[in-house]
Chains A and B, each alone.
Chain A
Amino acid sequence: MNIKENIKTIVIKKPLKLDCGQIINNFPLAYETYGYLNEKKDNAILVCHALTGDQFVTGINPITKKDGWWSYAVGPNKSIDTNKYFVICANVIGGCMGSFGPSHINQETKKIYGTDFPVITINDIVNAQVNLLDHFGITKLFSVVGGSMGGMQVLQFVSNFPEKTKTAIPIACTSSHSAQNIAFNELGRQAITADHNWLDGKYLSNNNVPDKGLAVARMAAHITYLSKKGLQEKFGRNLQERDDLKFGFDADFQIESYLRYQGSVFVDRFDANSYLYITRAMDYFDLIKQFNGNLSNAFKDTKAKFFVISFTSDWLYPTQENKEIVIALNAIGADVGFVEIESDKGHDSFLLDVPDFLKALKNFLDKSYIE
C-alpha cells in the first residue's frame, strides 16, 4: 500500500509513557482536517473514530476512494458544519492509516513490529492525539465528539484533559467494556490468529495477509452493528441471484452474500494486526475501574457541557450503558443532556442517515457554540 502521499502526519517527539509501561517517542500521528480554524481558535472539534474508522471523516477517502465514514454527519451545512467548525481527526495509534502501528518498522530491530508492537489503550490513544491541539495552537476545543470506540475516547479525553474542551458528545458507547463486548472482540481476534497466513503476526514480512481470518472477524463484528429487525427488513430470507436453494454452501441467501462482501472489502483497507491491537484497547477500557469504582470522579474536574446519545436498537452499547454515564455526571451536578434516538439500524445508527440523530447533534452544537 503506497498511501503516504495522501496522508498528513505530525511526528510526536515528546515521550509518551504507555499504560503497558513502555515509552514511545518520535512516532507518527496521521490526521486530517476539514473547514478552517478561526482567529480566536475557538471553533475546533476533535472527532474520534471508531474501531475500523480512520482520519478521513468526510468527503472522498483518498485511500479507499469511498465516502468518508461520517459523511452523513460532517461536512458543509451538515450536523458538524465544516463551514463553521474546524474538524480535526487523528488516526488512532495502533491503527493502519499512517499513525504509529504494528505495520510500522521497529527502528531497533529494523523489522516490522507485528505483535512486538506494544499493547495500547484508549488512554494511550487519547494522550497521543492531544498533541494535535498543540500542533494547531488550540488551548480549548469547542467540542470532542465520537461514537462507539470514538465515544470512549471522548470520555477519556474529558477525564484526562478536563479544561481542554467546552463540550463533549459521547455517542453509542460505554464507560466500561462489557463481557459481551469483549467476547465479540475475542471472536474476531481468534478468527485472525487462526488463519494460517497470520504467521504469528509476521505476515507482512512474508508478503502474506490473513485475509480469510480478518474477513471472518469483520463479518462477525458487522452482525453486532445491526439489529435483528434491521437485518430482517433488509434481507429477510431473500435468495441471492437464484430462484431456489442450491443444497450447497455457496451464498444462497442475500445476507450471506452481503456479509461476504463486507468481509472482502474490509481486508483491502485494514491491517489484521491493527484489528487485534485496537480491539484490545477497547477491551481494556474501564473508566469505572480507573476511578476506583466511581465513574463520577472521572469527570469531577471538568466544566464541559455533555450531550450523551444512544439508539433504541443498539444492543452492543445499549441505552442503559450510555445512561450510566449520564447518571455519573448528574451525581456531580455536571451539565449533561441525554436523548435516546429511535432507530432500527442498530449500533451503526450513528454512522447512517438517521434524521433525528443528525438534527439533535446539529442543534446541540450550534446552540452551544453561541452560548
Chain B
Amino acid sequence: MKPEYKIITNMINEKSRVLDVGCNDGTLMEFLKKNKNVDIRGIEISKEKVQVCISKGLTVIEGNAEFDLKQFPNDSFDYVVLGQTLQAFINPEIVIKELLRVGKKAIVTIPNFGHWKVRLNLLTKGTMPVTKTLPNEWYNTPNIHMCTIKDFFKFSETINFKIFKSLALVNNSVSNINNSNLFIKNLYSELGIFLIEK
C-alpha cells in the first residue's frame, strides 16, 4: 500500500461520495471502500486497468478525465481524487476547474519537480531528470506539465482555489507545508498532497 493512499484516506470522511480520477487498478478505491465505507466511482483510461477494476467488483468508467468529467453534474461528489496525474494532462487548469466543479472538495497529489535530487540532476548532468518518482526519459514521459509544490501554491492563487491542507511526503514521513516552510519543503518533498476547495 502506497503511503500516499493512507494519507488520502485520512482526509476523507466516512460514507462520503468519492470519484477517483485515473483510478488505475482500483487499489485506492478498494482501500477507501473498506476503511471509510464510501460510495466510490472511478474513471480510468486504460482498458486493461478497467478490466482489473471490474474483476474487483468496482464501478469504473473507461474514459479520459480531460473530456469525460463533463458528464457529471456540479457537486455530485464529496471528494474527487486525482493521484499523480495532473502533470499528464494537456490542460491541467481545465482539469482542476472540472475537479472542483464535480466535487465539493478535491484531493490532488503531485510528484514534486522541485525536489533537490531533480534539481541536482539537471544542474550536474544537464539532462532532463530521471528519478525514482519520475522514471521516464523526456521523450517518452507522460508527464508533460511538471510542476513543483511552490508552483502549485502559485497556481492556487492564479486560478483562485483554496488549499485547505497541504502535506509533504518524503520517505514515508508526512509533514505539513505552510508559507513559512515552503522553501524547504519544496526542496525536500518527493510528493505534495493537497486538499483543495473552490
Binding site for B on A (CB under 8 A): 305, 307, 326-327, 330-331, 333, 335-342, 356, 359-360, 363-364, 367-368, 370-371
Contact = CB atoms under 8 A, between A and B. Distances in A.
Interface of B: 17, 41, 47, 50-51, 54-63, 71-73, 76
B50 A339 contact: yes
Contacts of B72: 330-331
B56 A339 contact: no
A34 B21 CA distance: 40
Nearest to B54: A363
Nearest to A329: B71
Contact of A333 (B50, B51, B58, B76): B76
Nearest to A366: B57
B54 A371 contact: no
A337 B60 contact: yes
B55 A339 contact: no
A147 B190 CA distance: 48
B56 A337 contact: no
Contacts of A367: 54-57
B192 to A, nearest CB: 30
B33 to A, nearest CB: 11
Q: Which 6 residue pairs are nearest across A and B when measured between Cβ atoms? A: A367-B57, A327-B71, A363-B55, A338-B61, A330-B71, A363-B54
A368 B47 contact: no
Contact of A305 (B59, B62, B63): B59
A339 B47 contact: yes
Contacts of A368: 57
Contacts of B63: 338
A81 B57 CA distance: 17
Nearest to B102: A330
B71 A338 contact: no
Contacts of B56: 367
Contacts of B50: 339
A58 B61 CA distance: 30
A330 B69 CA distance: 10
